[in-house]
Structure 1
Amino acid sequence: MMTKLLIRLFLRDPENGNQSQLRERYGKLAGWVGVATNLVLFFIKLLTGLVFHSIAIMADAFNNLTDSASSLVTLFGFHLSAKPADAEHPYGHARIEYIAGMVVSFLVVMVGFQLAQTSVGKILDPRPTEFGTALLIALIASVLLKVWQGLFYRKISRTIDSTALLASSQDSRNDALSTGAVLIGLLISYFTGWQLDGWLGLGVAVFILVAGFRLVIETANPLLGLAPSKEMVDDIYRRILSYPGIIGLHDLNIHNYGPDRCFASVHCEMCADRNIVESHEIIDRIERDFLTDSNIHLVIHLDPVVTGDERANRLKIYVEESLRAVSDEITMHDFQAVWKPEDSRVIFDIVVPYRFSWSDERLTEYLSEKIKSQEPQCESIITVDHDDSPPPRER
């Protein structure tokens, strides 16, 4: 309820408008909410810790102050990532959001280490904490506010697909767990006299550290370069093959320069006998449609394919069968045959998975011998690429 109210107040019309601007507004809303709520928690816990002489609660208060700083990082990250492209950054600044997410992830790990250190100290030197109704109310309110904050971040992170806010969501969950551990430890100490809050805090610290390191890896992956999802690749293939004149495509490369900043290139095969102006117009239309409909900056290389050469077609089928005899995962594209009385050539590319055991030399030698068995005067020019991306596709 509160989340929807904040979204409507801050965004006014969240269903319509420019997607990049909406993304920036969502991110700034999350940042300001994080700064405000974490500062409130900081002052509440600091005063509570001072009144009841609790080092654990005061440490938790400064943890919330750190969370306010991480919210500022997220806020500035969304602000800077919305900057347009310039001469030094022609692909824009959207990856700054990934960097902000990584900063928050490292802060999560730091909080885990701090909590572990504090917990070990309490295990070695357990000291009872004064207990009161005000303390109980303050801690319960802190847990509830952190749970809401985590759900708020998670909703927005799913809405705009943000790794930075996903990191903030998990950080809020971890804070709720650490404060909950303090609360449970105080209750156990009050009713039984057992000082278990140190052990509970250590358990939560281990959980936070494991989650934090996973979060570091998760936020680093987009910066290193993630393979595109199968759904995205299948959708691109399906849409391109739906255009008239496209008989096949291969060498699809997709590069992500941040949310809503996707660049791609692909080779499209069209009949060599087709009018070049018509073919170029189709290619241009595909590129425009992808930019308009999906905000994908697509660059297409046109590959003319000779379809009426029966001799070349027979040899192509034979080479494909020879490849399948070795591995079903090796694919071929850009097959061309140049027939001359004394200097015939066959030129093509093959795509080999990284895990394939043969060397490139062994594979090209094998194919050259197969081609020689069918066309003794023919020279083979074979280019070997290594990739685990989806194979070339045809109609």
Structure 2
Amino acid sequence: MGDFFYKIFIKDYRNIADPTVRHRYGIFAGVLGIFLNIILAAVKVFIGFISGSLSVSADGLNNLSDASSSVITLIGFRLSAKPDDYEHPYGHARIEYLTGLILSVIIIFVGFSLGKSSIDKLISPQTLEISLFTIFVIVLSIPVKIFSAVLNYSIGKKISSNTLIATAVDSRNDVIATVAVVVGMILSYKYQINVDGFIGLVVSLFIVWSGIGLCKETASPLIGERPDPVLVDEIAKIILSHEDVIGIHDLMVHNYGAGKIFASAHIEVDASRDVMDSHELVDTIEQEISNRLDIHFVSHMDPVVLDDEDIDAISQVISKVIKDFPEVGNPHDLRFINSRNRSRIIFDLVKSPGADVDEEKIVRVVNTALRELNPNYHTIITFDKSYTNL
């Protein structure tokens, strides 16, 4: 169903990796959302005014808020497509998240406003004038919102837009709210049970709930989310696919919006290998990742000393001790600086996300174990934070 509309309204619709095509998808979704929601809002508010039904008017105002949301989404997609400039070298793609946050606040405000009106209606109920025609028109709006939800979700998944996915969830909630309105109207029409204020309150709660959900969805990437594990795995697989790579650590991924992902990693290579060859290797890896995954990738080359008896013995002792501390990972960046009176062992330990790590205890236990190996050993341990489990 979606491809039919995409083919008509979106040029080169299959090339979603192109930021321009992604922008067209967002514009299409925004314009369609504005059109559908304004039509629904006008019809429902008109019918609500004629029948005196607050719940119908509330549902119509909800559609109007959806239309304003689509306007903000449309503006967001336009602004986020602006090219990089001197003051914003990472681009403007995060504006899409910011506009989503703005519209979520608006939706929450509308929900509270309608909730207040519904409570007033509960306190002072009014006689409703409801006809089968009114019910019929409201029911007809349900397929429209289902269509909107499915299309927004489809586009959101296709172009990886949390804003459009959240809009789809909002449309789904509108369907549930509209069904609740219809139930209230049927009860009032058939059994003369006036639950209009209660139903209006339920609708307002759905609006608030939807706004809070949108707020969480859009605020999270602005605050900074953990990288997509699929992307992390793809980066690691490309790096480790090169036989001269020993390992990888300190992989970090920064997301500045769609098409604006920056990543870096420490790539471990044999210290005995020619430095120019190793440099050529990491350069090749950088280009491969950037081209295949469409991200900006840079790496740091970490030389690892192999087949050294002292370092092997030290590494075994550290790894054995660390097994008693599951909140930290295996050591990396291990360096051994040997002198006549004092030998320094320098390495990093990665802390698990959210773990309560007793760094002083770990340092004490590691030092004790290493000095049993050699009393002249002294450690310099850096505790790294894990961002990607690598």
**So what's the TM-score if we normalise by structure 1?**
0.91
Is contact 1:48–1:57 with CA below 8 Å preserved after alignment? yes
Q: Can you list the C-alpha shifts for 1:10-54, whole angstroms capped at 9, x where unaligned?
A: 114321365211210110000000111122123222332343344
Are 2:373 and 1:374 aligned? yes
One-letter code aligned to 2:115: A
Deviation at 1:74, TM superposition (A): 0.3
Is contact 2:247–2:269 with CA below 8 Å preserved after alignment? yes
SS in 2 for 1:330: coil
- Stretch moving more, 359-368 or 266-275: 359-368
One-letter code aligned to 2:241: S
1:127 aligns with 126
Q: Can you list the C-alpha shifts for 1:151-182, whole angstroms capped at 9, x where unaligned?
A: 22111111112111122112222333333333
2:258 aligns with 259
Aligned length: 390
One-letter code aligned to 2:168: S
User: Could you tell me how far apart the structure 1 residues matched to 2:210 and 2:75 are?
Assistant: 24
SS in 1 for 2:333: strand
Alignment CA distance shift 1:262-1:388 (3 Å): closer
1:190 aligns with 189
Deviation at 1:328, TM superposition (A): 7.1
Q: Can you list the C-alpha shifts for 1:76-133, whole angstroms capped at 9, x where unaligned?
A: 1111111111111111111111112222322332333233223222222222222234
Is contact 1:189–1:195 with CA below 8 Å preserved after alignment? yes
The percent of aligned pairs where both chains have the same amino acid is: 36
Is contact 2:16–2:22 with CA below 8 Å preserved after alignment? no
1:306 aligns with 305
2:229 aligns with 230
One-letter code aligned to 2:51: F
SS in 1 for 2:264: strand
SS in 2 for 1:348: strand
Is contact 2:327–2:355 with CA below 8 Å preserved after alignment? no
1:325 aligns with 324
Alignment CA distance shift 1:382-1:56 (3 Å): closer
User: Could you tell me how far apart the structure 1 residues matched to 2:165 and 2:305 are?
Assistant: 50
Q: Can you list the C-alpha shifts for 1:218-248, whole angstroms capped at 9, x where unaligned?
A: 2211111111233332222222111131101
User: Could you tell me how far apart the structure 1 residues matched to 2:176 and 2:205 are?
Assistant: 12
2:160 aligns with 161
Are 2:77 and 1:72 aligned? no
The equivalences for 1:94-109 within 5 A come to 94-109=93-108
Q: Can you list the C-alpha shifts for 1:58-91, whole angstroms capped at 9, x where unaligned?
A: 3433333322221110001111111111111111
Deviation at 1:299, TM superposition (A): 1.0
- Stretch moving more, 207-216 or 34-43: 207-216
Is contact 1:104–1:168 with CA below 8 Å preserved after alignment? no
Alignment CA distance shift 1:258-1:17 (3 Å): closer
Is contact 2:327–2:356 with CA below 8 Å preserved after alignment? no
Deviation at 1:357, TM superposition (A): 4.9
User: Could you tell me how far apart the structure 1 residues matched to 2:53 and 2:377 are?
Assistant: 85
Alignment CA distance shift 1:255-1:98 (3 Å): same
Is contact 1:128–1:189 with CA below 8 Å preserved after alignment? no
What is the alpha-carbon root mean square deviation over aligned residues?
2.1
